[in-house]
Structure 1
Amino acid sequence: MENNNNIKLTALIIATLASFVSPFIAAAINIALPAIGSEFQTNAILLSWIPTSFLLASAMFAVPFGRLADIFGMKRIFTYGIITFTISSFLCAAAPSSMFLLAFLVLQGIGSAMIFVTSIAIVTHVFPPKERGKALGITITSVYMSLALGPVLGGIMTQVLGWRSLFLLMIPVGLIVLILTFWKLKEEWALCKGEKFDLPGSMIYSISLFLIIYGFSLLPEITGAISTILGIIGIIGFIILELKTQSPVFEIKLFKNATFAFSNLAALISYSATFAVVFLLSLYLQYIKGLSPGNAGLILIAQPVVMAVLAPIAGRLSDRYNPRLIASLGMAFTTVGLLLFVFLNANTSYEFIIAGLVILGAGFGLFSSPNTNAIMGSVEKRFYGVASESVGTMRLIGQTLSMGTVLIIFALYIGNVQIMPSEYPALLLSVQIAFIVFTVLCFVGIFASLAKSGAVKQ
């Protein structure tokens, strides 16, 4: 029993630390975007690609690495992910141009995919069903704490030390996780050892997802429409192929399970509607309201702090009560928070902005842990790797689509120009339109969350 408790504690500490690094960079880099754009003289579209490249790479490789983890071992893939993330952090810090930064962020995104799809699966493996929601709540709290520190610490570091210091900070954290993994985490999990890896399916999935998001950035040009349509056709082909493949890279048949299917759909909608909030408000606060990176970060901290407080509480509640009801309540709060930001203007008070962020934080804090618990608890133990992969995939695709939506709006209303004072009215209009789209999307998500089956398989 004591040894089992040690394994659980070790796995939880490692997963919690690993869950910190990727969201921190995602949050901190949004605050640093004006500084990066100023140094590299970057236009609005390319500036949007800086966080998008990281997310897109993570989304493209989450599914293949989730399957590889099932075959070759979750700890092994997790370890490779930490190594890749740490090395790429150094390269990002040394990037001599925006294009080099984009390339290194792609590498960092690949490492992030390897980390995320394995960390949740490892925690799910070592914790019994009655403790799983609490453990997942703690892990997700780490994500929210990093999102909370990202804007504040990222803003202060960008202001005092420069944006490159954000990536340098990730190096010692990565090394600590790597040492703990080699030293303490002895067990390995490879429940599909010896099975074949679906390379064609992996390639079709990754290329299709790239075509969709790249097409978003080119709209309304005809090449953008063609790229997006080809990507959608590719995803449809991927689904058909996976249903026929004996050892698919992604177990599409699991979506016949109502709880699994609708919980994943709710997660996809939630991340699609909320991820770009920090990006949009960071630009709004620094360009239109004229705040420094540090002061903008202090305002943006409101949302993730509330998330961090509520996530473990919601996780424990989901062990006792129906997770779908708690998650649906969270989605409703999120919709209200997004609706408030539709009314942003140049004179909006900081109190109004903070109130909206608090409501958003409450919504996502109530949603995420119960929804993850519903997904992981709806499948048999041998599918934990696939379920963890789906959690990571929905998160990453949702975040990527969120930024993709912003790319479309920026392309339509701002264009391929650097954001200067003359562009501020177009920027404000773009922010308002984005929040209208996200509010409608999240409202639909309430019904997806409620549609989940009431029973959760343990």
Structure 2
Amino acid sequence: MTWTHSQKVSLLIVSTASFLGTFLASSVNIALPTIGKQFELNAVLLSWIVIAFLLSTSIVMLPMGKWADLHGIKKVFKWGITGCAAGTVLCAVSPNGYFLIVSRFVQGCGYAMCACVGNAILVSMFPPHQKGSVLGISIALIYAGLSMGPLLGGLLTEYLGWRSIFYIVAVIQIVDAIAAFIVLGKDKPVENSTPVNFKGIFAYVAALIALIYGSSIIPQVKGWISIVAGAVLMLGFFLIENRSKFPVLNVKLFTKNRLFAFSTLSALINYSATYAIIFLLSLYLQKIKMLSPKEAGFILLAQPFVMAIFSPIAGRLSDCKIEPRWLTTTGMALCALGLAAFAFLSESTSIYLIIGVLAVVGLGFALFSSPNMRTIMGSVEKSMYGLATSITETMRSLGQMISITISTLLISMLLGSIQIAAVPNDAFMKLVSISFGIFATICAVGVVCSYYRGNSNRSNI
């Protein structure tokens, strides 16, 4: 496998942006108690430091993917990494909590611009027989960022302060942005440019705001009302797009393209079932096993370590004669088995057993992710790479929100407003068991969805 210097550097630029974006999404979580004490924030405002990032990412991702297909994917990436770096700098110098929340929103907008076109740039730069391998590397770093965030964020917060997370990331992002402007070059002229459907964009943005705001205040009545309103607006969005001559979202991708529909749905299910693993296990290891944040973080590294090793391998396997759906279905099944195993956690469960199950889940992630992305990109024409990538990334963001919403709802129902430290161990273990049982069931549905997508179209990618 021979790559040119330009291909190697481009892969590094895109993968670095992907890693830093997901790292920011997860590393800040462990610093929230420290941030809350410094800015004297209540629990609701503290949660919006996380929600603001996910909200802006979800809002910008889909319409920006359409815009990128019309005006150039490389242009969008360059300005995206620049905007994300600017938002990160603002986070680092935030004088209060409200400023930090707004800065996180700006940061999420920039990251969304990078994420919605990153894989599209890679797919366009590498030959068909190498694209699975390249996507495997990129996706491994995305998951590594999500999983390593709590550990590295904890170390930086403990020894250098929470602002150091943003300062260090900002420096790397600035270097990455400069490299992107130098190396990536210009986009080819886009033929047959079409207008953007702003009515659809408005409905989509309003729907996401209502859904995410509602999920953040469940189980309050107005939270459920907001979610219902969001669902109605989302339905309206699909109806508008289905009737539009120039849709932001080509609904036919879901109604006429079974391979694309089932593959993106599988991605949504996978993230919905697995994103809360780190959150729940981090609490379990620190509360039940009495480990420090650093010790818990090192144990949780088992998952991204295995994933980083096997994601490129899974990508290469999908480039060969192995049908991607067999890899994705096997990976989803391993994730489901791992989640089911975690449902039987007890106070006496061995740390080594937990590490082993995390390794199984990590292997499942690896087998699912890059072949699934390869299938998605292979199911559409090249002119729709940007939109396909943005839809997939939107599914990831929505899946994360669903996963956290389920966890938050169960905590509210089972534990109430009691601080985690004061919760009896048996009540906490009941929460863990029910949560992982629900996530295992969701993932089992994903196994079926992944299998029935059909065989991939190897001629397009």
TM-score (normalizing by structure 2): 0.92
Partner of residue 305, structure 1: 305
Partner of residue 83, structure 2: 84
Matches within 5 A, 1:269-280: 269-280=269-280
Contact 1:154 1:294 in 2 (8 A): no
Counterparts of 2:257 and 2:418, CA distance in 1: 47
Could you tell which deviates more after superposition, 327-336 or 252-261?
252-261
CA shift in 2, pair 1:148/1:411, >3 Å: closer
Counterparts of 1:98 and 1:10, CA distance in 2: 37
- The count of residues paired between Structure 1 and Structure 2 equals 456
Counterparts of 1:53 and 1:414, CA distance in 2: 25
Is 1:186 the equivalent of 2:185? Answer: yes
Contact 2:85 2:173 in 1 (8 A): yes
Contact 1:74 1:122 in 2 (8 A): yes
Matches within 5 A, 1:71-110: 71-110=70-109
TM-aligned CA deviation for residue 8 of structure 1: 2.7
Counterparts of 2:382 and 2:133, CA distance in 1: 18
Is 1:392 the equivalent of 2:393? Answer: yes
Counterparts of 1:69 and 1:305, CA distance in 2: 33
Contact 1:86 1:175 in 2 (8 A): yes
Counterparts of 1:451 and 1:433, CA distance in 2: 28
Counterparts of 1:357 and 1:33, CA distance in 2: 25
CA shift in 2, pair 1:141/1:422, >3 Å: closer
Counterparts of 2:378 and 2:319, CA distance in 1: 10
Counterparts of 1:228 and 1:194, CA distance in 2: 35
Classify the secondary structure of the residue corresponding to 2:219. Answer: coil
Counterparts of 2:40 and 2:331, CA distance in 1: 40
TM-aligned CA deviation for residue 397 of structure 1: 1.3
Partner of residue 64, structure 2: 65
Partner of residue 285, structure 2: 285
Classify the secondary structure of the residue corresponding to 2:22. Answer: helix
TM-aligned CA deviation for residue 94 of structure 1: 2.7
Amino acid at match of 2:16: L
Partner of residue 247, structure 1: 246
TM-aligned CA deviation for residue 222 of structure 1: 2.1
TM-score (normalizing by structure 1): 0.93
| Root mean square deviation, CA, Å | 2.2
Partner of residue 409, structure 1: 410
Amino acid at match of 1:137: G
Counterparts of 1:96 and 1:385, CA distance in 2: 37
TM-aligned CA deviation for residue 327 of structure 1: 0.4
Is 1:323 the equivalent of 2:330? Answer: no
Is 1:337 the equivalent of 2:338? Answer: yes
CA shift in 2, pair 1:209/1:7, >3 Å: same
CA shift in 2, pair 1:203/1:302, >3 Å: same
Matches within 5 A, 1:438-453: 438-453=439-454
Counterparts of 1:127 and 1:267, CA distance in 2: 23
Could you tell which deviates more after superposition, 370-379 or 194-203?
194-203
Contact 1:219 1:408 in 2 (8 A): yes
CA shift in 2, pair 1:296/1:98, >3 Å: farther
TM-aligned CA deviation for residue 448 of structure 1: 0.3
TM-aligned CA deviation for residue 52 of structure 1: 3.1
Counterparts of 1:206 and 1:297, CA distance in 2: 35
Is 1:138 the equivalent of 2:134? Answer: no
TM-aligned CA deviation for residue 282 of structure 1: 2.1
CA shift in 2, pair 1:37/1:426, >3 Å: farther
Amino acid at match of 1:447: V
CA shift in 2, pair 1:416/1:217, >3 Å: farther
Contact 1:314 1:326 in 2 (8 A): yes
Counterparts of 2:40 and 2:427, CA distance in 1: 19
Classify the secondary structure of the residue corresponding to 2:4. Answer: helix
Could you tell which deviates more after superposition, 367-376 or 86-95?
86-95
Partner of residue 355, structure 2: 354
Partner of residue 205, structure 1: 204
CA deviation profile, 1:132-164 (whole Å, cap 9, x unmatched): 111111211222333454233222112211222
Counterparts of 1:58 and 1:308, CA distance in 2: 24
Could you tell which deviates more after superposition, 319-328 or 13-22?
13-22
TM-aligned CA deviation for residue 41 of structure 1: 5.3
TM-aligned CA deviation for residue 419 of structure 1: 4.1
Partner of residue 149, structure 2: 150
TM-aligned CA deviation for residue 262 of structure 1: 0.5
Could you tell which deviates more after superposition, 340-349 or 78-87?
340-349
CA shift in 2, pair 1:226/1:387, >3 Å: same
CA shift in 2, pair 1:131/1:7, >3 Å: same
CA shift in 2, pair 1:190/1:116, >3 Å: farther
Partner of residue 377, structure 1: 378
Counterparts of 1:76 and 1:166, CA distance in 2: 27
Counterparts of 2:398 and 2:137, CA distance in 1: 23
TM-aligned CA deviation for residue 407 of structure 1: 2.6
Partner of residue 35, structure 1: 34
Could you tell which deviates more after superposition, 112-121 or 77-86?
77-86
Contact 1:79 1:181 in 2 (8 A): yes
Classify the secondary structure of the residue corresponding to 1:196. Answer: coil
Partner of residue 50, structure 1: 49
CA shift in 2, pair 1:23/1:263, >3 Å: same
Counterparts of 1:189 and 1:287, CA distance in 2: 55
Amino acid at match of 1:152: L
Amino acid at match of 2:10: A
TM-aligned CA deviation for residue 301 of structure 1: 0.6
Counterparts of 1:381 and 1:13, CA distance in 2: 22
Amino acid at match of 1:336: L
Tell me, which stretches of 5 or more residues in structure 1 are unaligned? none
Counterparts of 2:412 and 2:44, CA distance in 1: 7
Counterparts of 2:102 and 2:251, CA distance in 1: 31
CA shift in 2, pair 1:164/1:452, >3 Å: same
TM-aligned CA deviation for residue 314 of structure 1: 0.3
Partner of residue 21, structure 2: 22
Tell me, which stretches of 5 or more residues in structure 2 are unaligned? none
CA deviation profile, 1:178-207 (whole Å, cap 9, x unmatched): 111111111315646632112111121121
Amino acid at match of 1:330: G
Contact 1:145 1:304 in 2 (8 A): yes
Classify the secondary structure of the residue corresponding to 2:161. Answer: coil
